[in-house]
Amino acid sequence: MRHVIAVFGMMILAGAISLGQATPATKAAPAKPATTTAKPAASGSGQPTAIIDTTAGKMTCTLFPDKAPIGVANFIGLSSGTKDWKSPTGATKHGVPLYDGTIFHRVIPQFMIQGGDPAGTGSGRDPIQPFKNETSKDLLFDKPGRLAYANAGPGTNTSQFFITEVAFTGQQASMLNGNYTIFGQCDDPSVALVKQIAAMNRDSNDRPYRPIKINHISIQKAGATAKPATTPVKKPAAGTTSKPATAPK
């Protein structure tokens, strides 16, 4: 099933967040290679942490089981291989982490990066039984680095997720808030990496020509202290002129 967010193009206003529509004939500036140090998760925080190891570097995201217990349990199960899922061919996978080897198949500057589809297209068959949205008025898309599920409407969450690059306000925020399950928050170095990935050269469907791959997602239990990650961040290619953004699908 193709997981999407509502169309944002009509809401792009002068001086407002463009959600991926860059100034015509202006290319995104190449990001400087950097060595990113992820901040350790606070000991005793009571929240688990996901370390998303990719071919471009690592992202560290605190999960919110108190806000999205179903979504967090699903993400942990699929990341660790403790939850069964079906491959694009329909074969049942048991004890196999779903996200290992998948790609960020959709990237949009000033908006988000999206991944988690075993088929690598965003429109593959649902690998698990869809589950309901979990939203709350005190957890909004009002800051960069929100980790959320992409969907095709209420109650259609499966494995696909997205990470936002910017904070959203006004009409943009109203299209997201209450419609997508936020189940985690990525730290500042992770947001910097999201920006680099989102700026990659991509085709008319926002698919990178050379997609970033997820090597593995490891989960640290609540209260554990994450080891600082010093993985050099690889510089993705500069982005091309972008078009009005649509939602994670």
Q: What is the DSSP string of the chain?
A: ----B---GGG--TTS--TT-PPTT-PPPPPPPEE--PPPPPTT-SS-EEEEEETTEEEEEEE-TTT-HHHHHHHHHHHHT-S-EE-TTS-EESS--SSTT-BEEEEETTTEEEE--TTSSS-SPPSS--B----BTTB-S-STTEEEE--SSTT-B-S-EEEESS---HHHHHHHTTTS-EEEEE-HHHHHHHHHHHTS-B-TTS-BSSPPBEEEEEEEPTTPPPPPP-PEEP-PPPP-------B--
Note down pLDDT in tens along the chain; length 249 residues.
666 554 443 333 323 333 333 333 333 444 444 444 444 434 345 899 999 999 999 999 999 999 999 999 999 999 999 999 999 999 999 999 999 999 999 999 999 999 999 999 999 899 999 999 999 999 999 999 999 999 999 999 999 999 999 999 999 999 999 999 999 999 999 999 999 999 999 999 999 999 999 999 999 998 765 454 444 445 554 444 444 455 666
What's the whole-model pTM score? 0.77
Class of domain 37-226 (CATH, top level): mainly beta
